[in-house]
Amino acid sequence: MTDAPPRVSIVMPVFDAGRHLAAALASVRAQTRRDFELVVVDDGSTDARTLALLDEAARRPGVRVHRQANQGPAAARNRAVADARGAYVLPLDADDTLAPEFLARTVPVLDAAPEVGIVHTWVGLTGAHHGTWRTGPFTLAALLARCTIHVSSLYRRALWEDVGGYDPRFVDGAEDWDFWLSAAARGWKALEVPEVLAHYRRSPASRERAARRPGTSGRLMRTLVAKHRPLYEAHLEDALAAMFEELQGVCLSLERIYGHPAARLYLRLRGLLA
């Protein structure tokens, strides 16, 4: 008998994920569709709880755990995908979770549409943020302005190969945004499953929160624009218009939240309201 490869490889970079890692691993085990493997790359963890959970996971069938010195999530994710055997890849961060039906609802979409490279779903926001992220659109114009889909989106391994993997220069964040933008620039298409099938956690220690800090966010954006300068130059008007609309949407949300006249005055003084 031959060991048939799984249809899907779930890839998980881990760095000192602590108490949230158990929930992420449990959400993988709870998948109702079973033709998958889990490839974990421990990116230099030192936290005892994380290491114990990974030792336990490594003893389970269909799970492989690799360990390396800390190189950042892009490099860790690349190593996991390079070792993956599935035709489809699903990244999962160690503090996020999947709904049990994630694979059951997304794999058939790729199976039925060979011209599509990515399936993204709506995302439930947990931890320090709340609500539902209705992802998309996956278009070049939209992606030049912001990252429009979550990292936990199912895609063909051939897409990762075409893009050249995740760029390890984006250590502090935006490696998924860069990855999706590169895919869109190469003509890859995406479809949406309009259901909450992934849960995205924000905590005080989240890398995403740190990436939004002044200085860090600007540096990441400069790196992104420098890498994709021909795209930004060719679509400058659309990119700036989309960014401005995004900013105004945030300002209107803030005005609704902080409806008091004093709050509106503060926002105007900061230049966040017209």
In a domain, 246, yes or no: no
Look at residue 21 and tell me whether its pLDDT is greater than 70. yes
Domain membership of residue 258 (yes or no) is: no
Q: Which letter does DSSP use for residue 101 in this model? A: T
Of 168, 164, 29, 3, the residue nearest 92 (C-alpha):
29
Number of CB atoms found within 10 A of residue 145's CB: 18
Write down the H helix ranges in the chain: 20-29, 48-58, 73-83, 102-112, 140-145, 157-163, 175-185, 207-211, 216-227, 229-234, 236-257, 261-269
In this prediction, residue 240 carries a pLDDT of: 79
Query: Residue 87: helix, strand or coil by DSSP?
Result: coil
Tell me the pLDDT tens digit for each residue of 173-228.
899 999 999 999 999 999 999 999 999 987 556 555 555 566 667 888 899 999 99
Q: Confidence band (pLDDT; 50, 70, 90) for 1? A: very low
User: What is the distance between the alpha carbons of residues 86 and 251, in angstroms, rounded to a whole number?
Assistant: 43
Structural domain containing residue 104: 8-234
In a domain, 144, yes or no: yes
Is residue 129 over pLDDT 90?
no
Backbone dihedral angles phi then psi of residue 118, each to the nearest 5 degrees:
-140, 140
Domain count of the fold of the chain: 1
Q: What are φ and ψ of residue 260, in 5° steps?
A: -65, 140
pTM to 2 decimal places: 0.87
How far apart are the C-alpha atoms of 28 and 12, rounded to whole Å? 10
Residue 108, domain CATH: 3.90.550.10
Q: Give residue 4's pLDDT.
A: 83
